[in-house]
Structure 1
Amino acid sequence: MSDKTIFTCAVTGSGSSHLKYDGVPKSPEEIASAAIKAAKAGASIVHLHVREPGTGTPCRSFALYEETVRLIRSSGVDVIINLTTGMGGDYIPVDGDPACLDKGSDMACVDDRMEHIVRLKPEICTLDCGSFNDGENISYISTLDMLRNSAKQILAAGVIPEIEAFELGHIWQAKVLLKENLLPKNTIFQLCMGIPYAAEATVENVIAMKNALPTGYSWGAFGIGRNEMAMLAQSWIMGGNCRVGLEDNIYLEKGVFATNEQLVERGVDIIRRLGGNVMSPSETRVRLGLA
């Protein structure tokens, strides 16, 4: 394994964590500030969603993405921006009539999902594979044709895709895209562990998914909730990249809310105690072929 790893902070996410914890960043100013603090604490990449500033409701507003990215880029702090493309695939059926979308659904065409990537051109963006059950009564929809169309736009924009794989079949999807030359050679793989009801956050599942990855690609794994730091250690031990952040877990310890900065500091400390270290943004760019 490499002594140094790529470290990502997932700053705010698209879940309902803001209803449990008011410290989840909501406005562009809050998200950018949290991203900058995470970078200073050791994250070389910040993974970003946006939310409605007043309510904290996750959204796909281009204006909010634009302002958040502007604030980070103009801060003078060097950090790699990774924007999500995962919004626009939430399907919640009306009880008794699955052909109808219930309140809370967010279904959008590929062009709408990709607008902020095409126009803002971050260094990295996610490509969220699917489909899968994403909770008690919600499914995330991302068909292979949707992934093909998204991958074409990412490729044309010159952005590196980070494949978010929530179960083994999603790696299979990515291999199809690779075979069709729709993904670049420096594509990143992120194994997303513990999201109900995809792959559970277990050592066995991480090993199985890692073994299914195509050879030679940068990869990492993360866990949510109480599995966040355990999966960080597991990923590092297996030679993968690491990720923490309020998107994945809002607690520093039981009953104690965290900040992104604190989670990064703890994650970096774990890696160093295991004998490793984290890459700077410039080192990360070299590793990923961005330099």
Structure 2
Amino acid sequence: MNAEVFITCAVTGSGETVDKHPAIPVTPEQIANASIEAAQAGAAIAHIHVRDPETGKGSRDPALYREVVERIRDSKVDIVINLTAGMGGDIVFGPGETPLPLDPAGTDMVGPLERLVHVEELRPEICTLDCGTMNFSAGDYVMTNTPSTLRAMAARVQELGVRPELEVFDTGHLVFVKQLIKEGLLDDPVMIQLCMGVAYGAPDDMLTLMSMVHQLPAGSTFSAFSLGRHQLPYAAVAAFAGGNVRVGLEDNLYLGRGEFASNGQLVARAKTIVETMGARVLGPAEVRERLQLTKRW
């Protein structure tokens, strides 16, 4: 069991959740406020996507990221900023016997350096790297991260002095993490997020989780999460497995059956779970020291 746990709050994501919850953060102000709320509830890290304020759909507009980050920094509330770099790797094939041309409504594919424009400009302490390609939920959507794309992104993130959080959705992704380490593209301490229960990646049963935990690179720091009603139980599971915790509205909309959650409520509940287990919840300054992060403001 991990006796000193940090909590990450994934405050909004990019999924189709706006119509499923009355208070999904959409505007930069709402996303920044959600991150501040999470910090005040006990989160050390805010994992941040942005959304188009008009449509609510996920976006990679650097101006939106800039407003969110500036609002958080101007608030003087301390939290480690973790910006997604997962946008720009989306392919949606055409249906049935006509996979080409690609569906323009959902396809957004850009080069590896363009996916990092906001990271280069804003220099967050952490950004994410999704460590493989996979069928992501039903339909014809493919989350696309080729080895050459990931190598280029890892090299640029390393040059920028930003810590990559390596998003591992399946066992093959963990194999690729080890390859990046072998090639010198990841600096210590390596930071891994085990993303469990995402269709069609690794299921969130205990046998699968622990098999992945036992395959982690030596000396790495990891967190683990699951989705929906399994999110809060995974706060206990992740800590007991030796890791850290992620909660937030990106992955789960409810505090209990039929009760919509806020990010602050999910963080507070996770903090209570972890502390009830006898662990101590780390603050952002301690996480910076542990992960060797450079505070940017």
On whether the aligned pair clears a TM of 0.5, the verdict is: yes
Q: Secondary structure at the match of 1:184?
A: coil
> What is the one-letter code of the residue matched to 1:111?
L
- The equivalent of 1:210 in structure 2 is 213
Q: Secondary structure at the match of 2:75?
A: coil
Q: Secondary structure at the match of 2:201?
A: coil
- The equivalent of 1:262 in structure 2 is 265
- The equivalent of 2:56 in structure 1 is 56
Unaligned regions of 5+ residues in structure 1, if any? Answer: none
- Cα separation, 1, equivalents of 2:258 and 2:102: 36
> What is the one-letter code of the residue matched to 1:203?
M
- The equivalent of 1:24 in structure 2 is 24
Which shifted more, 9-18 or 103-112? Answer: 103-112
1:69-218 matched pairs, under 5 angstroms: 69-95=69-95, 96-102=97-103, 103-137=105-139, 138-218=141-221
Identity %: 45
- The equivalent of 1:68 in structure 2 is 68
Taking structure 1 as the reference length, the TM-score comes to 0.98
Which shifted more, 43-52 or 84-93? Answer: 84-93
- Cα separation, 2, equivalents of 1:237 and 1:36: 27
1:20-57 per-residue CA deviation (whole Å, 9 max, x = no partner) reads 11311000000000100100000000000000112211
State the shift of 1:100 in Å.
Answer: 2.1
- Cα separation, 1, equivalents of 2:227 and 2:259: 16
- The equivalent of 2:38 in structure 1 is 38
- Cα separation, 1, equivalents of 2:109 and 2:230: 29
- Cα separation, 2, equivalents of 1:122 and 1:56: 23
> What is the one-letter code of the residue matched to 1:32?
A
Q: Secondary structure at the match of 1:125?
A: strand
- Cα separation, 2, equivalents of 1:254 and 1:56: 25
State the shift of 1:208 in Å.
Answer: 1.1
- Poorly superposed stretches of 4+, deviation over 3 Å: none
- Cα separation, 2, equivalents of 1:101 and 1:66: 31
- In the alignment, is the contact (CA less than 8 A) between 2:189 and 2:219 conserved in 1? no
Taking structure 2 as the reference length, the TM-score comes to 0.96
Q: Secondary structure at the match of 2:250?
A: coil
Aligned residues: 291
Unaligned regions of 5+ residues in structure 2, if any? Answer: none
State the shift of 1:167 in Å.
Answer: 0.2
Q: CA RMSD in A?
A: 1.0
- Cα separation, 1, equivalents of 2:2 and 2:108: 40
1:246-268 per-residue CA deviation (whole Å, 9 max, x = no partner) reads 00101111111110000000000
- The equivalent of 1:246 in structure 2 is 249
> What is the one-letter code of the residue matched to 2:106?
G
- The equivalent of 2:284 in structure 1 is 281
Q: Secondary structure at the match of 1:74?
A: helix
- Cα separation, 2, equivalents of 1:177 and 1:99: 32
Which shifted more, 101-110 or 197-206? Answer: 101-110
Q: Secondary structure at the match of 1:234?
A: helix
State the shift of 1:212 in Å.
Answer: 1.3
